[in-house]
Amino acid sequence: MAKLYFYYASMNAGKSTNLLQADFNYRERGMATMLFTAAIDDRFASATISSRIGLAAPATMFDAATDIAAIVVERHAAGCIACVLVDEAQFLTAAQVDQLAYLADTHGIPVLAYGLRTDFRGALFEGSARLLALADALIEIKSVCACGRKATMNLRVDADGRAVAEGRQTEIGGNDRYVALCRRHFTAALAEAREL
């Protein structure tokens, strides 16, 4: 029975690297995969999943209007798709996560979704919330706070490195905009930002 997997972590934990390694493992064995990434993420080349350590692979971009299931089912009919891999899964809509579950349940295609669990305020993203509810397996990819504890939160910072407590849920950025912290340091930094 195929499963829907949600691999989640804080920023800079290696989610894209893990996804690209999983994709390589399938392709090395002669199995076809389909990769998806969020159209909103414009940090690297368009229609590409890129990791900070230099790995990259072409991917189909998705936005809120993309029918992922229809795209995969069409390709699967033309030639067996062994696995679907989704990067930046926090940007999926709840309906798209339902489509991923449908692919696993009805078409027997394993789906590996990689993304953030929470935003810079500690609130769930829509896609992550639905994945937490529906995924057959929840796998945390570990990252480390500067204090040595497990980093589970994503602190947004401004150009001067100061914590940001307000703003749009989605603002694309990497190390220049976000710092992965343990809950204790995240809470303290957010409280300080709110006092300013």
Residue 186 lies in a domain: no
Closest C-alpha to 98, from 87, 113, 88: 113
Residue 114 lies in a domain: yes
Q: Which of 74, 88, 171, 192 is catalytic?
A: 88
Cα–Cα distance measured from residue 180 to residue 120, given in angstroms and rounded to the nearest whole number: 10
Determine whether the annotation assigns residue 147 to a binding site: yes
| 178 labelled ligand-binding | yes
**pTM passes above 0.95:** no
With CA atoms as reference, report the closest residue to 72 among 25, 111, 119. Answer: 111
CATH of the domain at 60: 3.40.50.300
pLDDT tens digit sequence for 124-171: 999 999 999 999 999 999 999 999 999 999 998 888 888 887 777 766
Is 25 inside a domain boundary?
Answer: yes
Q: Which domain holds residue 124?
A: 4-142
Tokens for 74, please give them: 């069409």
Whether residue 32 lies inside any domain: the answer is: yes
189 labeled part of a ligand binding site: no
Examine the residue annotation and report whether 88 is marked as an active-site residue of this protein.
yes
Residue 165 forms part of a structural domain: no
| Number of compact structural domains in the chain | 1
Q: Which residue has the tokens 């609130």?
A: 123
Query: In the numeric block, which tokens belong to residue 125?
Result: 């993203």
